[in-house]
């Protein structure tokens, strides 16, 4: 019984800790981001998905807000080919990382 509680505690810590970690790295899409970027939430969510899956095969993802929009245009320009992104995937990724820079999206965090 004691062992079960310990396992449960470790499991809970991993789940809660994991979510807390992904938040600042790839913040969830907010209504403020869709309004400010003029991009549908579905596209931004697709970009976020690409960022947290396709872009983490070689290295951990740097937090989206570690770079500004201009940096991201340059970085995605170099990294999209490494992830073999299709043009639409690349556009969705860029839309997400730049939308996450919007001041209103930051405020909504
Ligand atoms: C095939 C492996 C690979 C994939 C896939 C990959 N990267 Fe990278 N990435 C690297 C390497 C190697 C470096 C460091 C050296 C360099 O910059 O070329 C790097 C560096 C970076 C940096 C550091 C900043 C900089 O300018 O160097 C960022 C940010 C980054 N990658 C983002 C991404 C994103 C976003 C994606 C998804 C589109 C991605 N990476 C996919 C290999 C990869």
Q: What is the pLDDT along the chain (109 residues), one digit of tens a residue?
A: 666 665 556 555 555 545 555 567 999 999 999 999 999 999 999 999 999 999 999 999 999 999 999 999 999 999 999 999 999 999 999 999 999 987 655 554 4
pLDDT of residue 106: 55
Ligand 1 site, residue 80, Cβ cutoff 6 A:
yes
pLDDT for the residue 109: 45
Most ligand 1 atoms within 8 A of CB, residue of 51, 77, 79 to mutate: 79
65: which residues sit within 8 A by CB, 6+ positions away? 24, 27, 100, 101, 106
Q: How far, in Å, from the CA of 79 to the mean position of ligand 1? A: 5
Which atom of ligand 1 lies at the shortest distance from residue 66's CA?
Answer: 29
pLDDT (0 to 100) of residue 102: 75
Cβ atoms 92, 100 nearer than 8 A: no
Residue 52 burial (CB count, 10 A)? 15
Who's near 40: CB < 8 A, 6+ residues apart? 34
Which one of 56, 60, 62, 75 would you pick to mutate in the ligand 1 pocket, going by the greatest count of ligand atoms within 8 A of its CB? Answer: 75
């Amino acid at each position: 019984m004691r062992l079960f509680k310990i396992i449960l505690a470790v499991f809970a810590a991993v789940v809660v800790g994991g979510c807390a970690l992904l938040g600042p790295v790839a913040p969830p899409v907010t209504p403020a981001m869709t309004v400010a970027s003029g991009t549908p939430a579905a596209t931004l969510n697709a970009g976020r998905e690409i960022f947290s899956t396709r872009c983490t095969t070689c290295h951990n993802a740097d937090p989206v807000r570690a770079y500004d929009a201009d940096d991201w245009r340059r970085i995605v320009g170099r990294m999209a080919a490494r992830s073999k992104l299709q043009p639409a995937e690349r556009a969705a990724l860029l839309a997400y990382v730049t939308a996450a820079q919007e001041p209103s999206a930051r405020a909504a965090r």
